[in-house]
Structure 1
């Protein structure tokens, strides 16, 4: 019998970094992540290529792991020049709005520029960059069970309309109107 796998969770998400030690220290200091594991090899196990690397792993709560590769033998890392900086990011959840505002104050106290909070209808977010240029988002959910259920219901309609028009569908108009505005 075959079929799609039954997934448990994301095992880890890996990004590239400029300096493994600096990255581990930054994520511990700024976001409180615990550094848990490292692998270092001179040869890539999956390909057999000679390409020394340091692979570090950080616990970011809830059984989720964030990992980084330092690749000193590769050209300096860059960004996809055709993708805006706001698109590729890592979003991490915090408990509530109080935790989001507290995190913002803590991060700004580290000398890091923070954008937000930004209202997204069912969550609020702040944004900033890590020392490698990766955009990080901290988000707290603010939606109701009814709002999440409605969004799940209209998601197929929205995707179908987007696929036809390449314009933002408005099937949940309330999502686009900030209550305090």
Structure 2
């Protein structure tokens, strides 16, 4: 057994066309706050954002010219603080009002998620956890339902 015990995803770093413009989008759409801007050094021009407590949950760095966008990974999932489906519906309405491009809405049995794109084409997910994480309940359900990913509506 490995001695490494990862607690959670601490942060994600994304390459984007325009870190400042993308930072505004993340602040306006996902209610993040800018915690720092990189000065000189390898991260110059980078913007660091947080959902609240962490020094940064997402960092945005300028991509090289001609780099492919939105294909560096499949998606990043952000768990909502609320477990209310009504709150997830309000998020969906907010995204629609903001013109956010929504890919799909999936019911995973353990959670329901809205999959959408940032301005650089990165797929993101906000989800409502429906089965508690504590005690292994969500792991057991995901195993039982074999990774369910059923399209649904809100």
Q: With structure 1 as the length reference, what TM-score do the two structures score? A: 0.65
1:107 CA drift (Å): 1.0
SS at match of 1:109: helix
Q: Which blocks of at least 5 consecutive residues in structure 1 are unaligned?
A: 45-51, 155-171
1:62-121 CA-partner distances (Å, limit 9, x unpaired): 5361101014xx32220487x8xxx61111111121221111111110112224432011
Alignment length, in residue pairs?
145
Q: With structure 2 as the length reference, what TM-score do the two structures score? A: 0.75
Among 127, 131, 152, the alignment partner of 2:119 is 131
User: What is residue 57 of structure 1 aligned with on the other side?
Assistant: 48
Say which structure, 1 or 2, has more relative contact order (CA 8 Å, 6+ apart): 2
Q: 1:149 to 1:109 in 2, by over 3 A?
A: closer
Q: 1:62 to 1:124 in 2, by over 3 A?
A: farther
Tell me, yes or no, if the aligned pair for 1:18 and 1:77 is still in contact at 8 Å.
Answer: no
Tell me, yes or no, if the aligned pair for 1:38 and 1:57 is still in contact at 8 Å.
Answer: yes
Q: 1:59 to 1:123 in 2, by over 3 A?
A: same
Among 126, 138, 145, the alignment partner of 1:148 is 138
Q: Which blocks of at least 5 consecutive residues in structure 2 are unaligned?
A: none
Report the structure number with the largest CA radius of gyration.
Answer: 1
